[in-house]
């Protein structure tokens, strides 16, 4: 996914072979341009987009969840809480404070 592309839903295709060694490589490698491992970045980017949507629109949480690639509002809310240390609705009501963990973009 690039900055210009829209997020798309993540899914596991049971017909595809397991990719254990690739996931281990993704978890442990660091990219100097984003300052964090690729799997962490793949979670951070859609949630950052969701945070902007919460700040800049009145869209329902379910709409935002779908727009950033989550299949359910529940999964989106859990991921958002891990990143921002509060529920998405509370984040919106409190005026969208800074995230709990922000990567250093160089």
What pTM value is reported for the model?
0.61
Give the mean pLDDT of 89-95. 90
Domain count for the chain: 1
Answer for the pair 41, 34: CB distance below 8 angstroms, yes or no: yes
In a domain, 67, yes or no: yes
- The model's pLDDT over 13-52, given as tens digits with 9 standing for 90+, comes to 555 555 555 555 555 555 556 677 777 778 788 999 999 9
In a domain, 43, yes or no: yes
Residue with tokens 């409190």: 94
In a domain, 78, yes or no: yes
Backbone angles phi, psi at 69, to 5 degrees: 100, 10
Residue with tokens 């379910």: 62
> For position 84, which CATH number holds?
1.10.10.60
Which residue range forms the structural domain that includes residue 77?
Answer: 35-93
d(CA 76, CA 66): 9
């Amino acid at each position: 996914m690039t900055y210009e592309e829209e997020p798309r839903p993540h899914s596991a295709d049971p017909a595809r072979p397991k990719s254990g060694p690739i996931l281990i490589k993704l978890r442990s490698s660091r990219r100097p341009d984003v300052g964090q491992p690729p799997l962490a970045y793949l979670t951070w980017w859609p949630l950052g987009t969701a945070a902007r949507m919460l700040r800049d629109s009145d869209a329902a949480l379910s709409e935002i969840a779908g727009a950033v690639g989550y299949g359910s509002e529940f999964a989106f809310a859990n991921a958002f809480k891990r990143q921002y240390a509060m529920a998405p609705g509370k984040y919106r009501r409190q005026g969208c404070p800074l995230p709990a963990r922000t990567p250093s973009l160089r």
